[in-house]
Amino acid sequence: MSVYLKLIWAYLKIGLFGFGGGYAMLSLVQHIIVENGWLSSQMFTDIVAISQMTPGPIGINSATYIGYVSTGSVLGSALATLAVVVPPYFLTLYASHYITRHSDSTIIKGAFMGLRPVVVGLIASAALLLMNKENFGIAGSTDNFISIALCVASFCTVYFTKTHPIVVIILAGIAGFLLF
């Protein structure tokens, strides 16, 4: 099987079976990399590191990067990215249409009544999961103290002063450069 087909197949699987976004998808990406054997595990670690330092969803980042590195062409990059995006695109679009069309049904109304508090919990869980050593440094260290202070300051800025979140990210980056 050509490397292009392998790549498309791998990212179709990642797109269709990757639930929960971001880091939840990583284990699947890692599994497929190992399964194929045509990408070294070092590359996987690299992708994670690069994804943390570049904007955008990690699923897109890994598809674009592995697509290019494994084929040496922009086409490979584009194909892998499309493969991970297109099938979920149609599923999500269909779900969105279906729900809009049946928005008056008892089932949809009831389901969303239950889903709203769940989504609040899902967002909270994402925040909890990111409160780790990678993002906040080792507990008790100076870095840890600065990170917590930056987190609190960012929260107050975005929540109370209604500053645009993008401005907060830029300010935090400058603060990080100056403080660490």
Partner 1 sequence: MNNLYLQLWLTFMKIGAFTFGGGWAMISIIEREIVDNHKWIEKDEFLDLLAIAQAMPGILAVNISVVAGDRLKGIKGSLAAAFGTILPSFVIILAIAIFLTPETIKNNEVLTRIFKGIRPAVVALIIAPVITTARAAKINWKTIIIPVAVAVLIYSGLPVVSNPILYIVLGGIGGYIYYTHVTLKHRKEDRA
Residue 14 C-alpha from the chain's centroid = 13
Whose structure tokens read 């279906």?
Answer: 98
Six-digit token string for 81: 């990215």
Chosen residue from 56, 138, 139, 161 binding partner 1 by CB under 8 A: 56
Taking the chain, what is the end-to-end CA distance rounded to the nearest angstrom?
A: 48
Return the residue of 5, 34, 75, 99 that touches partner 1, per CB under 8 A: 99
* Long-range contacts, 2-7 (Cβ 8 Å, 24+): 3/38, 3/70, 3/71, 3/76, 4/71, 4/75, 4/76, 4/79, 6/36, 6/38, 7/66, 7/67, 7/70, 7/71, 7/76, 7/79, 7/80, 7/83
Of the listed pieces 2-10, 30-38, 102-110, which binds partner 1 according to CB under 8 A? 102-110
- Residue 1 CB, shortest distance to partner 1, in Å, is 23
Give least dist CB 130 to partner 1, A: 5
Residue 44: name the closest of 69, 24, 19 by CA: 69
* Subset of residues 126 to 145 that bind partner 1, contact rule: CB under 8 A: 126-131, 134-137, 143
Burial class (CB in 10 A: 0-12, 13-18, 19+), 157: middle
Q: Give residues 61-90 in contact with partner 1 (rule: CB under 8 A).
A: 61, 64-65, 68-69, 74, 77-78, 81, 84-85, 87-89
Q: Could you say whether residue 53 binds partner 1 (CB under 8 A)? A: yes
Smallest distance, Å, CB 144 to partner 1? 10
Contacts of partner 1 in 24-43 (CB under 8 A): 24-25, 43
- Rule CB under 8 A: choose which of 122, 133, 141, 142 binds partner 1: 122
Site for partner 1 in 6-25 (CB under 8 A): 15-25
Among 40, 96, 141, 142, binds partner 1 (CB under 8 A): 96
Among the listed residues 8, 10, 29, 59, the single contact to partner 1 using CB under 8 A: 59
Residue 16, SS3? helix
